[in-house]
Amino acid sequence: MGVSAAMIVKDSERCIARCIDSIVNSVDEIVIVDTGSTDATIEIVKQYVQDYPHIRMYQYEWINDFAAARNYSLEQVTHDWVFIVDSDDVLPDTEQSKIRSYVQNQIDLGQETVFDIIYDNTVAGEIVEVIPVGYVRLFPSRLRYVDRIHEQISYGDIPRTSSDIHLLHDGYDINLVDLKAKKKRNIDLLVASLQSNQENARLWLHLAREMSVLDLSKALRYLDIAESKTNNQELLILIHNERASLS
């Protein structure tokens, strides 16, 4: 009973090697699913596959659904636990022993838990935002994702708790990423999701967050819609905090 790492990637030549290097000794296998790269990502990963027998790469046809791609990656893992990373994540040296430690503790206790990690957003190499909850990244590999954008793991009655595992993430550094293009992609997927799920307050909140960079008035209107569609206190707090940050 070990732990796998799984990631979905596309056009990640800028950062994929750095990500793999940071996790290669922390897990028992790494599953990398490419969703249509046209840069050097595939060639870079192929070299790692040659050098490390516990790294495997798969091709997946992108269907505008992050949950579907994530679930395909989960179908390829061979261990009972999985750690989810993105290509623009880095697991710091200080964190690299923690993944197996958390998993071994669960095995010793004979129980299952899903774990939030601490997400440290960076700009120019400096941490600018620390997000302590909301990112479940370590969990039993039999679980699956829902929602085509801002996908969430569906864990039912399994307990959820925070870990002290930090991941560095530079995917919102405007010096490295075309943030407006990323936001537009996410908005298109959220709008498509809302067409069949208009009562989902969390999707409206995510749409407001994405729209805030492009159109503040629309973002505020979407927050109002989100608030009108939920009585969940945790979600209402997130909506309130988002509105305050935009004021």
Confidence (pLDDT) at 204? 92
Instruction: List the Cα angle 103/109/112 in 5-degree steps.
Output: 60
Classify domain 3-169 by CATH number. Answer: 3.90.550.10
Confidence (pLDDT) at 173? 65
Where does the pLDDT of residue 220 fall: very low under 50, low under 70, confident under 90, or very high at 90 and above?
Answer: very high
Higher pLDDT, 1 or 112: 112
User: Is residue 170 within 8 Å of residue 127, measured between CB atoms?
Assistant: no
Higher pLDDT, 60 or 245: 60
Domain covering 179-246: architecture: Alpha Horseshoe (1.25)
Residues with Cβ within 8 Å of residue 176, at least 6 apart in sequence: 14, 170
Q: How far apart are CA 53 and CA 231, in angstroms?
A: 49
Q: Where in the chain is the domain with CATH 1.25.40?
A: 179-246
Where does the pLDDT of residue 189 fall: very low under 50, low under 70, confident under 90, or very high at 90 and above?
Answer: confident
Summarize the confidence of residues 92-101 as an average pLDDT. Answer: 96
Place of tokens 């290509």: 87
Is 133's pLDDT higher than 80? no
- Judge residue 173's burial from the number of C-beta atoms within 10 Å of its C-beta, 0-12 exposed, 13-18 middle, 19 or more buried: middle
**H-type alpha helices, 24-83:** 41-51, 66-76
Is 84's pLDDT higher than 90? yes
Does the pTM surpass 0.85? The reply is: no
Summarize the confidence of residues 69-74 as an average pLDDT. Answer: 98
Residue 115 per-residue DSSP state = E
Q: How far apart are CA 166 and CA 90, in angstroms?
A: 9
Structure tokens at 86: 């993105």
Summarize the confidence of residues 213-231 as an average pLDDT. Answer: 91
Count of alpha carbons within 13 angstroms of residue 146, beta-carbon side: 8
Q: How far apart are CA 16 and CA 141, in angstroms?
A: 22
Instruction: List the Cα angle 124/126/130 in 5-degree steps.
Output: 125
Is 176's pLDDT higher than 80? no
Where does the pLDDT of residue 174 fall: very low under 50, low under 70, confident under 90, or very high at 90 and above?
Answer: low
Helix (H, G, I), strand (E, B) or coil at 162: strand
Q: Where in the chain is the domain with CATH 3.90.550.10?
A: 3-169
